[in-house]
Amino acid sequence: MTREVDAKDLRVVIIGAGMAGILSAIKLEEAGIGNFSIYEKADRLGGTWRENTYPGIACDVPSHLYSYSFAPNPDWSHQYSPGAEIQAYFERVAKQFGVDERIEFGQEINRCAFIDGRWHITTSAGIKDEADFIIAATGVLHHPSYPEIAGLEDFAGALFHSARWDHDVPLDGGRVGVIGNGSTGVQITAALAKRASKLSLFQRTPQWVMPQENPAYTEDEKQAFRAHPESLRALHEDISNLFAAGFANAVVDADSELMKGIEDQCLANLEENVSDPDLRERLRPDYRAACKRLVISPDFYEAIQKPTATLVTEEIERIEPGGVRTRDGHLHELDVLVLATGFKADRFVRPMEVIGRTGKRLDEAWADRPSAYLSISVPDLPNFFMLNGPNGPVGNFSLIEVAELQFGYIQQLIDQVRSGECRSLSASARATEDFDAARVEAAKKTIWTTGCRSWYLDDRGVPATWPWTFDRFREEMAEPDLAAYDFFD
Ligand code: NAP
């Protein structure tokens, strides 16, 4: 016979106070599960938006989509709002819903062990806690990737990764180098080409660039949003559907007309907006658009054509105290060198030590590469659920929407315990293997496998991302297939 569990007898630990951790707290409270804590290793909430403060930072997902569905914001300044505004939004929402008071700042969880049906948690500061559930909201692009370039430590000027920006370093009138031209490097270049006396962008591989204007919302528009909150909800829904039917479908079908349309727009952007034929050829990629994560920018081409800007396509030989020496022998003299070289995208909850019910460590389970059933649950890690975990829809969607859908799914797993069906549950090994095999097969049709290097690809060259349509993701998240789970008492 099943016996219902009172919600107040369930304790949840949320790891991380970024977008997904804040969301989890709000949703748990709403579901009557008020006994939870959020552990955050930093001294401030915000995750990605706390860490990435580089000049030019903005989100290239429309702001009215990159907002919680339950907390629309009539005050977004632009269609694609700057990073500081997004950070302020999360701080405001966390305060509004009383989440900020539930965060244990400066507490990095370094160990979670499932012992006798509960999770035992230890933080680096020595705090111990126990919980029935863990929600890992630890982010995706979180661990900076530093390039292996000889002499990096010899540079005499200021050197930092784009996600560790040193705001004490003056930029105006200085000589700035940027290594990397992904979404980050392109935004930095566009922002700094008008401030630096000399801006050198070190490009290893050209990028396709989708032009996208970014109009500011007028006061009248914001007033109308405030007066009619339902119009904001409708806008959120409309943009979401546009994304799902457009870009999301295109990337998973490399041969589609939609994909061709996107490529045509990028090509026209290059042809029409870069006037110097030599520069145009050096900016022209030799792989398909959106194979790498598509770069979206209204002003990158304009910036790189400024007299202050130089596109360096010679290979970097080494870093010297005075700057970057390229293979042609030229020394690019610099005061500041920014590493916009991306992130280690395969870390997820690691380096945290996670020990499951059989005593096996997550690091062993993921020795080859990370995997999880529907990116949420790992076999033998009962009641341990990830938001934006391995192989989920990342890259070009609103990760807020992804996390909201995932949380709705996780909530239904928690309900299994609440209703007394089991004390804990995790995806079965069989379901996880089948899911992994299916996604690897489906990935062959996607644009990400058409011949380029990118952070989407795992060590085998298989895209580690959701290879189906966004509609399918929504359907999968609507209701768990409980046959895919092992139930434990
Ligand atoms: P990224 O896309 O991984 O780009 C890293 C860049 O560094 C690439 O240009 C890469 O060149 C270059 N690089 C790496 N190692 C190098 C080396 N040893 N020598 C020379 N060049 C090297 O990283 P990211 O630009 O930080 O972006 C990561 C992701 O964050 C994006 O794809 C996106 O999903 C997200 N993001 C989103 C936004 C937004 O607006 N929503 C903004 C920023 C970032 P290769 O291309 O040759 O590998």
278-327 pLDDT, tens per residue? Answer: 999 999 999 999 999 999 999 999 999 999 999 999 999 999 999 999 99
Are 405 and 479 members of one domain? yes
Query: 452 and 331: one domain?
Result: no
For residue 179, report the distance from its CA to the centre of ligand 1, in Å.
9
Q: Is 181 in the pocket of ligand 1 (CB under 6 A)?
A: yes
- Regarding whether 321 and 172 lie in a shared domain, the answer is yes
Closest Cα to atom 37 of ligand 1 = 183
The verdict on 32 and 168 lying in the same domain is: no
24 with 159, same domain: the answer is: no
Residues 351 and 335 in one domain: no
Kindly report the protein residue whose alpha carbon is nearest to atom 26 of ligand 1.
342
Q: What is the pLDDT along the chain (489 residues), one digit of tens a residue?
A: 568 999 889 999 999 999 999 999 999 999 999 999 999 999 999 999 999 999 999 999 999 999 999 999 999 999 999 999 999 999 999 999 999 999 999 999 999 999 999 999 999 999 999 999 999 999 999 999 999 999 999 999 999 999 999 999 999 999 999 999 999 999 999 999 999 999 999 999 999 999 999 999 999 999 999 999 999 999 999 999 988 888 888 999 999 999 999 999 999 999 999 999 999 999 999 999 999 999 999 999 999 999 999 999 999 999 999 999 999 999 999 999 999 999 999 999 999 999 999 999 999 999 999 999 999 999 999 999 999 999 998 766 899 999 999 999 999 999 999 999 999 999 999 999 999 999 999 999 999 999 999 999 999 999 999 999 999 999 999 999 999 999 999
Confidence (pLDDT) at 397: 80
Whether residue 123 sits in one domain with residue 13: yes
- 141 Cα nearest atom in ligand 1: 30
Strands of the sheet with 323-326, listed across from one edge: 316-320, 323-326, 331-333
Is 228 domain-assigned?
no
pLDDT at residue 395 in the model: 66
Please report whether residue 218 resides in a domain: no
Q: Are residues 267 and 385 in the same domain?
A: no
Q: Are residues 328 and 470 both part of a single domain?
A: no
CB 59 less than 6 A from any atom of ligand 1: yes
The answer to whether the CB of 313 is under 6 A from ligand 1 is no
At which of 339, 354, 386 does a domain end?
Answer: 339
Residues 108 and 167 in one domain: no
**Which residue out of 140, 164, 184 has the highest number of ligand 1 atoms within 8 Å of its CB and is therefore the one to mutate?**
184
Measure the CA–CA gap between 413 and 133, rounded to whole angstroms.
10
Please identify, by atom number, the ligand 1 atom nearest to the C-alpha of residue 61. 41
> In this structure, what CATH number is given to the domain that contains residue 407?
3.50.50.60
Of 290, 317, 339, which marks where a domain is finished? Answer: 339
Residues 48 and 374: their CA atoms lie apart, in Å, by: 23
Indicate if 331 and 351 belong to the same structural domain: no
Full domain range(s) for residue 330: 152-213+242-339
- Whether 323 is in the pocket of ligand 1, judged by its Cβ within 6 Å, is no
**32 secondary structure, DSSP code:** T
Q: What DSSP string describes 301-339?
A: HHHHTSTTEEEE-SPEEEEETTEEEETTS-EEE-SEEEE
- Flag whether 67 is in a domain: no
Q: Which atom of ligand 1 is nearest to the CA of 147?
A: 18
Residue 259 covered by a domain: yes
How far, in Å, from the CA of 457 to the mean position of ligand 1?
Answer: 13
**In this predicted structure, what is the pLDDT of residue 245?**
87
How many CA atoms are closer than 13 Å to the CA of 103, on its beta-carbon side? 28
Residue 57 in any domain: the answer is no
User: Number of folded domains in the chain?
Assistant: 2
Rounded to whole angstroms, what are the CA distances from 180 to 199, 277, 307? 13, 22, 20
Where among 339, 362, 385 does a domain terminate? 339
Residue 374 forms part of a structural domain: yes
In a domain, 74, yes or no: no
Distance 282 CA to ligand 1 centre (A): 18
Q: Which atom of ligand 1 is nearest to the CA of 395?
A: 34
Q: Taking CA 437 as the corner, what is the angle to CA 436 and CA 438, rounded to the nearest 5 degrees? A: 90
Nearest to residue 213, comparing CAs of 84, 80, 86? 80
Do both 207 and 294 map to the same domain?
yes
- Cα of 175 from ligand 1 centre, angstroms: 21
Identify whether 197 is part of a domain: yes
